[in-house]
């Protein structure tokens, strides 16, 4: 998943347009995008929308309300019958919350005749200060986890920060730490690391700068809040012809079974093979190989 577009769950108009956008995944939002007074109506709208989908060309996730709100069960009761591809869990406190969500899903899958584990999960790992100290607990917590992502807006609000970005647009140190911990926790858990949103949807140059930095560091996709952000994000997180060719050459260099190899004068080891495999997996998902 290169691009994951948030769509407000209470907007029938925006939901109707969602499939025409070229995001790899859509996050039907029952949380921050929906006012408290509209939560029940949003559940109904999202539930009906999921049931109306025919041949799905993308993945559909639902961002439910946080476990601490007491609204999660009602959200799941409404949307699981529509067979979403996954659930995004906001303000996740760590592996224990991933386990708790998995248990809730298992019961509802059984009730609705779905295979156990059919619905995947993506926790948002850094939206509370307490969650920062639990990042390592995601490893091995839930086989449902498909990806891990992070958020800086709720986190900065909790600490009452004046801002979470510097004048040049880069994150300040506390939020760079949260981002880095998410990347490491995702890789340690063998799931996809997804970068957070870039909130200024009119600043394409800023979006490209941040997405390129995320790709450089090891993130494999980025959440977006506007359809105009999908194209640049998909482009940046799609492997280039040059990177695909290099990955294929790395794999070929290790066909003899050696632990090290020489490629055009560069000494390679098995870590390079792992990198090449990730590049080719992304290329395959994009239909390039």
Which one-letter DSSP state was computed for residue 283? H
Six-digit token pair at 139?
């490893």
Mean pLDDT by 10 residues, the chain (289 residues): 96 91 96 96 97 91 98 98 98 98 98 97 97 98 98 95 94 97 97 96 96 95 97 95 93 87 89 89 85
Domain carrying residue 192: 3-237
CATH number of the domain that residue 231 is part of: 3.20.20.60
Axis crossing angle, helix 72-79 with helix 95-111, rounded to the nearest 10: 40
Q: What domain count does the chain have?
A: 2
3-state secondary structure of 181: helix
Together in a domain, 252 and 228: no
Both 53 and 158 in a single domain?
yes
Phi, psi of 119 (to 5 degrees): -95, 120
> Whole-prediction pTM value?
0.92
Cα Rg of the chain, angstroms: 20
Q: Are residues 185 and 279 in the same domain?
A: no
Which contiguous run of DSSP H or E holds residue 7? strand 3-8
**Domain final position from 221, 237, 253:** 237
């Amino acid at each position: 998943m290169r691009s994951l577009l948030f769509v407000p769950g209470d907007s029938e108009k925006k939901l109707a347009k969602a499939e025409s956008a070229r995001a790899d995944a859509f996050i039907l939002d029952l949380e921050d995008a929906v006012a408290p007074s509209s939560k029940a109506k949003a559940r109904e709208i999202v539930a009906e929308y999921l049931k109306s989908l025919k041949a799905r060309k993308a993945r559909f996730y639902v961002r439910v309300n946080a476990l601490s709100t007491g609204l999660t069960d009602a959200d799941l009761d409404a949307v699981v019958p529509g067979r979403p591809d996954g659930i995004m869990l906001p303000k996740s406190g760590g592996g224990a919350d991933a386990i708790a969500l998995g248990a809730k899903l298992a019961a509802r899958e059984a009730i609705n005749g779905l295979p156990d584990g059919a619905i995947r999960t993506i926790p948002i790992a850094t939206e509370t200060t307490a969650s920062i100290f639990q990042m390592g607990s995601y490893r091995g917590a839930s086989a449902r986890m498909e990806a891990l992502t992070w958020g800086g807006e709720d986190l900065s609000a909790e600490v009452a920060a004046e801002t979470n970005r510097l004048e040049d647009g880069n994150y300040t140190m506390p939020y760079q730490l949260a981002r880095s911990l998410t990347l490491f926790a995702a890789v340690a858990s063998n799931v996809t690391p997804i970068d957070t949103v870039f909130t200024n949807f009119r600043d394409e140059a800023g979006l490209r700068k941040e997405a390129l930095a995320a790709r450089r560091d090891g993130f494999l996709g980025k959440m977006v809040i506007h359809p105009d952000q999908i194209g640049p994000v998909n482009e940046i997180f799609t492997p280039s012809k040059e990177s695909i060719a290099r990955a294929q050459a790395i794999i070929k260099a290790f066909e003899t079974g050696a632990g090290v190899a020489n490629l055009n004068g560069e000494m390679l080891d098995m870590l390079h093979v792992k990198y090449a495999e990730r590049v080719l997996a992304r290329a395959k998902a994009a239909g390039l190989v």
